Amino acid sequence: MDRESSRRRLVVVSNRLPVTFKKVEGKWQMVPGSGGLVTALSPVLKNRGGVWMGWPGIPEQPDQERISELLSTQFASSGYHLHPVLLTPEEVRDFYYGFSNEVVWPLFHDLQTRCKFIPRYWYRYLEVNKKFAQQLKEISRPKDYLWVHDYHLIHLATYLKELGVERSIGFFLHIPFPPLDIFLKLPWRAQVLKAMLEYQLIGFQTLRDRRNFLSCVNHLFRNVDVKVQGRGPLVNLKVGKREVLVGSFPISIDFDAFSSQASSKKVADWAWYIHENLPNKQIILGIDRLDYTKGIPERLEAFRDALQRFPDLRGNITLVQVVVPSREEVKEYQELKGEIERLVGEINGQFTGSGWVPIHYLYRTLERDELLAYYRASEIALVTPLKDGMNLVCKEFCACDVDERGVLILSEFAGAAAQLHKHSLIVNPYDIEGVANAIHAAFHMPYPERAKRMRRLRESIRKNNIFKWVNSYLEAAFTKNLDDFPEVEPEEYLPKIDV
């Protein structure tokens, strides 16, 4: 074996590659992705030598060769390889839109009534996972570490084993893991749980997700001996003869990159310009992908309630709601868009006065500098998902608040609440009056108190940044011994409830 092929590489597998494609004047162009995952994993992939495998995000094309050529030539300078897995239109429909986004996504966000448990989706999900496994077999080497991301690819480890491929392999779930009673609704619950146990390490965003997972394992495998050893963020789970490490690794952002870019002249000028157009008003910002888990209609109702009950807010606060187009082909998402637009129209119709429009609604993707300018220009961030694995928007808002004058209103059901609850205003996103009260409290919060809270939030995000997330996951992946991990009992976050 030559030196190159005996090196241990990191092979990242996710549904989507870290690049996207768009057609400009009839020709495909590749646009590098800019998410935190790409920023964090790129240096590791470069240093270790690595591969990122995933779907390029567009159905198989007649000019497929052009896509492959773009992937191999344009990405060469990044120091690692991209391996595209091509999906047919039927696979995109049933595996991606179907099982991934109409079964697992709503169920794992506790919204089981939105699930469509269609057997065809399930079989196609398995087929696509098998396809990924077959290609992974081709491109990976025995010493590689395979790091599989997210709910689209739960069965990858199972199929690799079936193909006789022995590799070190770990999984990270970016979305929440649901409580037992909800998980049990899944017709394929035992298969899904069993498939997760085929990984050597399973990472969750929070201790709550891990607890939910462990209670499902305890329940569904009650006829087998189930034992959990260890007490820290990483525990050892034994199910019969099978042993798996299960940990909580809260994902984060590249804090320094956000903070320094937000301090740049371009972003500062842009932020000034945004605020100049809304003079003498506090800006309250919502930024979300178009998705029913993000709680946008509930948030708009809360804003309406705040304007109704607190006249001092009228004319003095403006909600900037950015909705980023997502899954637009799906009927539910089109309906959601319609509902949001109806509510925005209604509220603006009800309250607009001379020189003041209560809601500025943007339905588009912002370029990065513009996004940062909105973060920097806003006095309050309103982050109220009904449920969210982590939520990066709230962390980005804090990282960009270099002047430390912002207030974060955060849903107790966002994974980020476990880390940020002490210094933000925590709300139940279903509680319209509670969210409205928080908006009013944030509006009146004195600036010294804002600065004190924001400093702490920023410190915490700076310390627990995306690089720490990658390192702690990989340390867990390569550890042979639980003693290498702190035994401190981490405290699970449960919101305080006033009775």
Residues assigned a catalytic role: 174, 388
Out of 254, 388, 401, 412, the residue judged to bind ligand GDG by CB under 6 A: 388
End-to-end CA distance of the chain: 67
Cβ 299 to ligand GDG shortest distance, Å? 14
Cβ 392 to ligand GDG shortest distance, Å? 3
365 touches ligand GDG (CB under 6 A): yes
Cβ 464 to ligand GDG shortest distance, Å? 13
Written as one letter, the residue type at 345 is: G
368 touches ligand GDG (CB under 6 A): yes
Q: Which stretch binds ligand GDG (CB under 6 A): 208-216, 264-272, 364-372, 479-487?
A: 364-372
257 touches ligand GDG (CB under 6 A): no
247 touches ligand GDG (CB under 6 A): no
Cβ 171 to ligand GDG shortest distance, Å? 13
Residue labelled with tokens 């065809």: 120
Out of 228, 366, 451, 482, the residue judged to bind ligand GDG by CB under 6 A: 366
Contacts of ligand GDG in 52-111 (CB under 6 A) = none
Angle at 101 between CA 98 and CA 107, to 5 degrees: 110
Taking the C-alpha atoms of residue 449 and residue 460, their distance in angstroms, rounded to an integer, is 17
Q: Strands across the sheet with 317-324, in order?
A: 359-363, 317-324, 282-289, 380-383, 407-411, 425-427
Phi, psi of 441 (to 5 degrees): -65, -40
Q: What DSSP character marks residue 450?
A: H
392 touches ligand GDG (CB under 6 A): yes
Cβ 37 to ligand GDG shortest distance, Å? 7
Out of 48, 174, 238, 327, the residue judged to bind ligand GDG by CB under 6 A: 174
Distances in Å between the Cα of 270 and the Cα atoms of 90, 263, 267, 277, 442 are: 44, 11, 5, 11, 24
Out of 182, 244, 251, 420, the residue judged to bind ligand GDG by CB under 6 A: 251
Give 267 or 322: the residue with its C-beta nearer to ligand GDG. 322
Q: What DSSP character marks residue 109?
A: T
209 touches ligand GDG (CB under 6 A): no
Cβ 322 to ligand GDG shortest distance, Å? 6
252 touches ligand GDG (CB under 6 A): no
Written as one letter, the residue type at 70 is: L
Q: Which stretch binds ligand GDG (CB under 6 A): 57-65, 277-285, 390-398, 487-495?
A: 390-398
Q: Residues 400, 406, 407, 408: what is their CA dihedral angle, to the nearest 10 degrees?
A: -10
Answer yes or no: are the C-beta atoms of 245 and 285 closer than 8 Å.
Answer: no
421 touches ligand GDG (CB under 6 A): no
For the chain, what is the radius of gyration of the CA atoms? 23
* Total residues binding ligand GDG (CB under 6 A): 19
Which residues on adjacent β-strands are paired with residue 414? Answer: 388
Give 362 or 482: the residue with its C-beta nearer to ligand GDG. 362
Out of 102, 209, 396, 412, the residue judged to bind ligand GDG by CB under 6 A: 396
38 touches ligand GDG (CB under 6 A): no
50 touches ligand GDG (CB under 6 A): no
SS (H, E, C) 160-183: HHHCCCCCEEEEECCCCCCCHHHH
The residues, any chain, with a CB within 8 Å of residue 397's CB and separated by 6 or more, are 285, 375, 378, 381, 383, 406, 408
Out of 51, 160, 377, 390, the residue judged to bind ligand GDG by CB under 6 A: 390
391 touches ligand GDG (CB under 6 A): yes
305 touches ligand GDG (CB under 6 A): no
Cβ 175 to ligand GDG shortest distance, Å? 5
Which residues on adjacent β-strands are paired with residue 320? Answer: 285, 360
Helix axes 393-400, 368-377, angle to 10 degrees: 70
> CB neighbours (10 Å) of residue 37?
22
Strands 282-289, 27-32: pairing kind: unpaired
Cβ 119 to ligand GDG shortest distance, Å? 26
Out of 30, 133, 313, 393, the residue judged to bind ligand GDG by CB under 6 A: 393
244 touches ligand GDG (CB under 6 A): no
Distances in Å between the Cα of 344 and the Cα atoms of 362, 383, 423 are: 11, 17, 30
289 touches ligand GDG (CB under 6 A): yes
Give the residues lining the site for ligand GDG (CB under 6 A): 35, 174-175, 251, 287, 289, 322, 324, 365-366, 368, 371, 388-393, 396
